[in-house]
Amino acid sequence: MEAVFEFAPVGAAFDGEMAKRMDSLFLPKYSGKRDEIPTLPFAFEKKEGQPLKPPEPIIRYRRWNEKETALIQFSQSLCAFNALKPYTHFVDYLPEMENLFQLYTGETKAKKTLFLGQRYINIAQLPSIDEPPSDYFTVFPRIDLVVKGPQPFSMTLQVDTLPGEKRGRVTLSIVYRGNDGLKPVYILDLYAQTENFPPIPFTWESVSLWQKEAHQPIETAFNAVLTEKGKKLFGWEEESQ
């Protein structure tokens, strides 16, 4: 499993020099693999009466720790913490998430965010091509099998979550990625996200509370789409999240 905590800062003061300062703050812990990739901003404005120009790419800086069990990403438009394999428990990563949030907002002076997000990416192999995917997934397209083995498919479900002022959504995707030998490989991708410009104070206390509350709809979605056999296959343990 891989887990991602992220937000999309608005109004962050960020440039090449800022990236260097951020790097120095995260050393020596994030001194492993590193790269910079050009990305497009999440949103940009169109001015009245003017043609829409393609936005300029934004450099996203990605820094791994030496064991490659964690990754941080930061740019003018995104800040994210990735918990990589071997994933343990959500609470184990809270100190790192808080450190990233406090350092980023402290340096860039970002006062609000376009959204908050929490994502879980799960990869699992079915034991055999002879077992139907419906043994593991409660939601599965009814396809008449012309040939033996699983049929390629992908499915995305979206539900509302987090009532009241913190309303958002959870998107769950199931994707068949082919076979590894005779074992079909599936990816389950769960993503909880706030509405745009959430009415939540942009402080760690409020942001971390949203992150904790987002677990419930994620668990609900995961439990709804997996059979008991599927939960065992994906190693899903509600209490560990």
* pLDDT beneath 70: ranges in the chain: 42-54, 141-153, 159-167, 236-241
| DSSP of 25-93 | HHTTTT-S-EEEEEE--S-----TTSPPPPPPPEEEEEEE-TTSSEEEEE-SS-EEEEE-SSP--HHHH
For 152, the 3-state DSSP assignment is: coil
Sheet holding 112-125, edge to edge: 34-39, 58-64, 70-74, 79-83, 2-10, 112-125, 183-194, 168-180, 154-161
Please give the pLDDT value at position 51.
56
Looking at the whole model, is its pTM more than 0.85? no
pLDDT of residue 207: 94
CA torsion angle 96 101 103 105 (round to 10): 180
Given this model, what pLDDT does residue 48 score?
58
Check residue 241 and give its pLDDT: 41
Q: Given this model, what pLDDT does residue 142 score? A: 62
- Residue 219 has a pLDDT of 84
Sequence length of the chain is 241
**Would you state the pLDDT for residue 42?**
65
Q: What is the rounded distance in angstroms from the CA atom of residue 224 to the CA atom of residue 226?
A: 6
Token pair of 229, please?
């056999």
pLDDT at 53: 66
